[in-house]
């Protein structure tokens, strides 16, 4: 019951945040002085995107036991798909003024647009690619990995290799994704200037709605028998096989869905920060996502979202005031959560609330055995 109430609290806070920004920045006149400035809007929007990514990872790690150390790859692919659309939106306003080719292609003396850039001038196409690019990669990767029964730490290692390989590939100019610099210098989104306050507000609101939607959909999915099979796979994979379930298919479905949600997060992230480059594929970025989820509460979607927001808020604070202390703090948080908060912040709050009520903490269904 208490666990449920905490989850409702997280959900309600996100709704409250969205409602506040909607009222203060969109409905009420600016003269009331309640509106968030564009710096805060962008920061909050970023956190919300990270929270979506954390929810995506928790779906596979928390519920199916697949510790992916390469989720930043799916996030970045979604981001690149959005970035390609934004590049095509620049049109003739680039430094070189070419009507079709983005600046970096003109600079590389390319004569025409590579085939994989076709279609990205249309928002609907880019919108599909946000899901399909990471989804197809996850499908192909998962198909081979799960069928060969690669699991546990071995799977984690090859997911690291996956994101590292993509990083190296995207660094190359010949790949056609802007190389080292990535994609940047965006101007418009759907015809509205990206730097305008109005667009920033809507991007932040969309990120919040996307987070609510991901939470809601994952929650609904996990409440079905599918969710219980995932938990069975997490806790006893071979037993699930002997019950007649094709474990690799269940893992594959969860992994692909998770990758698509991560892609959505990346696509919302890129217009808010204004750049996507191969650094986003770095193995460290994926490991950070694992830290968010572990700290917030693995095996609880709301905990994962909370963890992403708390860790990134701390990151903003530390990198602003004590930049040299940030990595030590991150390390300390991970050690502390591993030693003292095995079920993360949300799990610890649940136990605390239960103790206050004078009940012994019960083994939660959402917790880990």
Partner 1 sequence: MIPVTRSVLYLDGLSVSFDGFKALNNLSIDLAPGELRAVIGPNGAGKSTMMDVVTGKTRPDEGTALFLGSHDLTVLDETEIANLGIGRKFQKPSVIETLTVEENLELALAGNRSPWQAIMQILRPQDRRSMNEVASRVGLTDALDQLGGALSHGQKQWLEIGMLLLQEPKVLLVDEPAAGMTDSETLKTAELLKSLAGEHTVMVVEHDMEFVEALGCKVTVLHEGRVLAEGSLPHVSSNNEVIDVYLGR
Q: Judged by CB, which is closer to partner 1: 24, or 221? A: 221
Of the listed pieces 130-138, 234-242, 274-282, 314-322, which binds partner 1 according to CB under 8 A?
A: 234-242
- By CB under 8 A, residue 4 contacts partner 1: no
- By CB under 8 A, residue 39 contacts partner 1: no
Q: Which residues pair with 189 in a beta bridge?
A: 192
How many amino acids of this chain bind partner 1 (CB under 8 A)? Answer: 28
Please tell me what DSSP assigns to residue 179: G
Q: Which residues pair with 184 in a beta bridge?
A: 275
- By CB under 8 A, residue 139 contacts partner 1: no
- By CB under 8 A, residue 243 contacts partner 1: yes
- By CB under 8 A, residue 326 contacts partner 1: no
Which two three-digit tokens encode residue 155? 């799977």
Of the listed pieces 98-106, 178-186, 236-244, 273-281, which binds partner 1 according to CB under 8 A?
A: 236-244
Q: Which residues pair with 276 in a beta bridge?
A: 183
Contact pick of 136, 253, 287, 314 for partner 1 (by CB under 8 A) = 253
> Can you tell me the distance from the alpha carbon of 245 to that of 230, in angstroms, rounded to the nearest whole number?
10
- By CB under 8 A, residue 359 contacts partner 1: no
Helix ranges restricted to H, 148-275:
152-171, 197-222, 225-235, 237-242, 247-273
Contact pick of 28, 118, 216, 226 for partner 1 (by CB under 8 A) = 226
> Can you tell me the distance from the alpha carbon of 58 to that of 300, in angstroms, rounded to the nearest whole number?
7
Task: Concatenate the DSSP letters of all residues of 150-164 into one string.
Answer: --HHHHHHHHHHHHH
Of the listed pieces 206-214, 225-233, 260-268, 305-313, which binds partner 1 according to CB under 8 A?
A: 225-233
Contact pick of 69, 167, 247, 262 for partner 1 (by CB under 8 A) = 247
- By CB under 8 A, residue 256 contacts partner 1: no
Contact pick of 231, 265, 270, 276 for partner 1 (by CB under 8 A) = 231
The least distance separating partner 1 from the CB of residue 269, rounded to whole angstroms, comes to 29
Contact 189, 89 (CB under 8 A): yes
Q: Judged by CB, which is closer to partner 1: 104, or 250? A: 250
**Residue 14: exposed, middle, or buried by beta-carbon count in 10 A (0-12, 13-18, 19+)?**
buried
Q: Judged by CB, which is closer to partner 1: 14, or 64? A: 64
> Can you tell me the distance from the alpha carbon of 68 to that of 62, in angstroms, rounded to the nearest whole number?
11
Of the listed pieces 207-215, 246-254, 278-286, 344-352, which binds partner 1 according to CB under 8 A?
A: 246-254
Residue 105 has phi, psi (to 5 degrees) of -75, -40
Sign of CA dihedral 22, 25, 30, 32: positive
The DSSP H or E segment spanning 46 is helix 38-64
Percent helix, strand, coil in the chain (nearest 5)? 75, 0, 20
Looking at the chain, which runs of residues are DSSP E strands? 183-184, 188-189, 192-193, 275-276
Furthest C-alpha separation in the chain: 73
- By CB under 8 A, residue 301 contacts partner 1: no
The least distance separating partner 1 from the CB of residue 235, rounded to whole angstroms, comes to 5
- By CB under 8 A, residue 186 contacts partner 1: no
Q: Judged by CB, which is closer to partner 1: 181, or 354? A: 354
| Ranges within 202-221 binding partner 1 (CB under 8 A) | 221
- By CB under 8 A, residue 241 contacts partner 1: yes
Of the listed pieces 27-35, 227-235, 276-284, 330-338, which binds partner 1 according to CB under 8 A?
A: 227-235
Binding footprint of partner 1 on the chain (CB under 8 A) = 221, 224-226, 228-229, 231-232, 235-236, 238-247, 249-250, 253, 363, 365, 367-369
């Amino acid at each position: 019951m208490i666990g449920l109430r905490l989850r409702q609290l997280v959900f309600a806070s996100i709704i409250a945040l969205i409602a506040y920004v909607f009222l203060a920045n969109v409905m009420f006149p600016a003269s009331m002085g309640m509106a968030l400035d564009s710096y805060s809007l962008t920061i909050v929007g970023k956190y919300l995107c990270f929270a979506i990514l954390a929810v995506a990872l928790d779906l596979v790690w928390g519920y199916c036991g697949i510790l992916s150390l390469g989720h930043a790859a799916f996030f970045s692919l979604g981001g690149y798909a959005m970035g390609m659309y934004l590049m095509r939106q620049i049109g003739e306003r680039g430094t070189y003024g070419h009507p079709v080719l983005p600046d970096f292609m003109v600079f590389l003396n390319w004569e025409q647009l590579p085939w994989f850039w076709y279609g990205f001038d249309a928002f609907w196409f880019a919108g599909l690619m946000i899901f399909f690019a990471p989804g197809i990669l996850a499908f192909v990767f998962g198909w081979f990995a799960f069928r060969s029964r690669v699991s546990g730490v071995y799977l984690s290692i090859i997911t690291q290799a996956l994101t590292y390989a993509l990083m190296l590939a995207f660094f190359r100019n010949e790949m056609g994704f802007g190389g080292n610099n990535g994609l940047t210098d965006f101007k418009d989104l759907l015809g509205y200037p990206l730097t305008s306050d109005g667009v920033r507000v809507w991007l932040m609101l969309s990120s919040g709605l996307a987070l609510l939607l991901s939470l809601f959909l994952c929650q609904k999915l996990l409440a079905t028998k599918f969710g219980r099979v995932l938990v069975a796979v997490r806790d006893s994979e071979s037993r699930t096989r002997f019950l007649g379930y094709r474990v690799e298919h269940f893992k594959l479905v969860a992994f692909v869905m998770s990758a698509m949600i991560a892609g959505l997060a990346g696509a919302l992230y890129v217009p808010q920060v204004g750049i996507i480059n191969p650094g986003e594929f770095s193995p460290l970025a994926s490991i950070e996502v694992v830290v968010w989820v572990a700290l917030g509460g693995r095996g609880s979607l709301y905990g994962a979202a909370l963890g992403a927001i708390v860790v990134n808020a701390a990151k903003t604070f530390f990198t602003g005031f004590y930049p040299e202390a940030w990595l030590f703090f991150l390390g300390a948080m991970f050690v502390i959560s591993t030693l003292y908060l095995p079920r993360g912040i949300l799990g610890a709050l649940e136990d605390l609330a239960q103790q206050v009520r004078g009940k012994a903490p019960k083994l939660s269904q959402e917790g880990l055995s």
